[in-house]
Structure 1
Amino acid sequence: MGNRIDSHQHFWKFDPVRDSWIDETMAVIQRDFLPEDLQPLLKENHFEGCVAVQASQSEDETHFLLDLASKNDFIKGVVGWIDLRSENVEERLQFFSNQKKLKGFRHVVQGEPDDFMFGTEFRRGIQALKTFDYTYDVLIFERQLPAAISLVKDFPNQRFVIDHIAKPDIKSGSINSWKKGIEEIAKFDNVWCKISGMVTEADWENWKPQDLKPYLDIIFENFSTDKLMYGSDWPVLNVASDYKEVVKTLEDYISKFSIEDQNKIWFENAISFYNLSD
């Protein structure tokens, strides 16, 4: 598979109750976003495919994304949701295990108490993922990095990817405690990181590429180009930017890298992390 892969985007049929996180400040994304909306953007920016990631916490969401993936070839993989804390987690994983395009799972931990990832039930669920060779997407705020470090350390055989570079407060420019957490978590061989979701942590109205640069510098210093992958976080990015601008920001940043390293970031790492070539 040549060509770029967007390792992180979402689809939804907008539901104001279920999607209450999309508040009035995000009015621009209070509508449906479906494959026919994304496909032209992918094409225009030289992307061959994408990975659709859960946005709501239900098995219905997993079925919804798998259904879209079955009808759209360019959706190469799905990161779904199951209740990892459930007693029958193995049974649910077994149920989904015949779904070729289902590559991993995610829980919206950023909305949970800071000690959530220490929970026994949650950890039992993480343990079960390995049996089926599923990945786990770590969605956290910067303050939850210590819990994430403990998690990845205790499950050395589980593949983890950090979404949105662990959401540092780019808008305020604070960087030091986030930097310490990134330096620590990047030491683990089982951890990858998505270059995604940065513009929405910056000042939506006024961000510039140089606001992101110090954060990108730290990500690239700590994660090798073997461990980083591009994700747009479309359509959430629309509150602060547009698809093309987000792509261009990373293109400019890595323009001096070798073609080999650029290819790793644009598609090779996503393909190997999520087994997208199956």
Structure 2
Amino acid sequence: MPKIDAHQHFWIFDPVRDSWINDEMLVIKRDFLPADLLSVLQQNGIDGCVAVQADQSEKETQFLLEMAAANPFVKGVVGWVDLKADNLEERLEYFKQFDQLKGFRHILQSEPDKQYMLQPRFQKGIASLQKYGYTYDILIYPEHLPYAELLAGGFPDQKFVLDHLAKPPIKDQNMHSWQKDILALAKHPNVHCKVSGMLTEADWKSWKPEDFTPYLDVVFNAFGINRVMFGSDWPVCLLAGGYEGTMQVINNYCSGLSATEQELFWGKNATLFYNL
């Protein structure tokens, strides 16, 4: 079974569009393309990846599909489409021609309305994803978890994956409320979890591998070995230890898993979830 990085990004840096990349983030304030990633994957024993949207536009979806078409190691794309659009089904019909398009994501964490995902038009869009066989990546902060649980419960046949463990406050080692809500969300068997984006939720300069252990314990126990998958969050991970630091933390934690469990976590779960 190939090893899959289930979460990374490509972009041609645009200071207006990518204004979230501030002056503290100079290391990622540039272009990141497949040629930049391939050697990193090879050095870390990763065979393929899933490219995930970082901009809310169909132009972004087309850009990622072009990257995937030209680079066979990009096994799948999670794009963006307006889930509230009147012509959503027409757009999904159009996108069915692209085999590498596996699902969609909306940057819910940035919406002023914390209950955005419960709006009727958004939920109608989720129902359309289910109809067309697309997955949905949930990008949220811990305070959104109760709404995500309602969303998942309302669409038991829709495949969801939680990005970045919902960004728990690892730097503060404050996990009580997050843990309670993760346990509730994980009770829905249609929800999976990406073990990704952790280093940037810790102290960027002085994190230790053991800082992550309590959070990893929670998600591995809550979701079980069949619903967790590895993601690097490259190039964002360069802010806090890079690909090598990410692999160090996760390899350290996974060293106690059986060979079968490791195969599931490092590639099989992502392959099955995204139909790679």
Pairwise CA distance, 1:249: 1.1
1:135 aligned partner, one-letter code: T
| Contact persistence 1:50–1:74 (CA under 8 A) | yes
Q: Which residue in 2 is equivalent to 1:98?
A: 97
1:152 aligns with 2:148: no
Structure 2 spans left out of the alignment, 5+ residues: none
Q: Which residue in 1 is equivalent to 2:6?
A: 7
Q: Distance in 2 between matches of 1:79 and 1:91?
A: 18
Pairwise CA distance, 1:3: 2.5
1:78 aligned partner, one-letter code: V
Structure 1 spans left out of the alignment, 5+ residues: none
Partner SS, residue 133 of structure 2: coil
Q: Distance in 1 between matches of 2:201 and 2:61?
A: 26
| Contact persistence 2:2–2:268 (CA under 8 A) | no
Pairwise CA distance, 1:118: 1.1
Pairwise CA distance, 1:132: 1.1
Q: For 1:1-278, what aligned pairs fall within 5 Å after superposition? A: 2-112=1-111, 113-276=113-276
1:187 aligned partner, one-letter code: K
| Contact persistence 1:93–1:132 (CA under 8 A) | yes
- Structure 1 residues 145-188: Cα deviation after superposition (integer angstroms, max 9, x where no partner): 01100000000010000000011111111100000010000011
**If the length of structure 1 is used for normalisation, what is the TM-score?**
0.98
| Contact persistence 1:141–1:166 (CA under 8 A) | yes
Pairwise CA distance, 1:221: 1.2
| Contact persistence 1:196–1:231 (CA under 8 A) | yes
2:73 aligned partner, one-letter code: F
**If the length of structure 2 is used for normalisation, what is the TM-score?**
0.99
Q: Distance in 2 between matches of 1:157 and 1:218?
A: 24
| Contact persistence 1:145–1:181 (CA under 8 A) | yes
1:67 aligned partner, one-letter code: E
Partner SS, residue 15 of structure 1: coil
Q: Distance in 2 between matches of 1:120 and 1:193?
A: 25
Could you tell me the percent identity over the aligned residues? Answer: 52
| Contact persistence 1:69–1:101 (CA under 8 A) | yes
Partner SS, residue 181 of structure 2: helix
- Structure 1 residues 87-129: Cα deviation after superposition (integer angstroms, max 9, x where no partner): 1111110010110000000000000121111111111110000
| Contact persistence 1:3–1:46 (CA under 8 A) | no
Q: Distance in 2 between matches of 1:177 and 1:9?
A: 28
Q: Distance in 2 between matches of 1:3 and 1:145?
A: 31
Q: Distance in 2 between matches of 1:25 and 1:229?
A: 29
| Contact persistence 1:168–1:178 (CA under 8 A) | yes
Q: Figure out how many residues of one structure are paired with residues of the other and give that number.
A: 275
| Contact persistence 1:170–1:211 (CA under 8 A) | yes
Q: Distance in 1 between matches of 2:47 and 2:221?
A: 28
- The 10-residue stretch of structure 1 (201-210 or 4-13) with the greater mean CA deviation from structure 2: 201-210
Pairwise CA distance, 1:245: 1.7
Aligned alpha-carbon RMSD (Å): 0.6
Pairwise CA distance, 1:270: 0.2
Q: Distance in 2 between matches of 1:3 and 1:66?
A: 21
Partner SS, residue 40 of structure 1: helix
Q: Distance in 2 between matches of 1:160 and 1:119?
A: 17
Partner SS, residue 201 of structure 2: coil
- Structure 1 residues 217-244: Cα deviation after superposition (integer angstroms, max 9, x where no partner): 1111111100000000000000111111
Partner SS, residue 270 of structure 2: helix
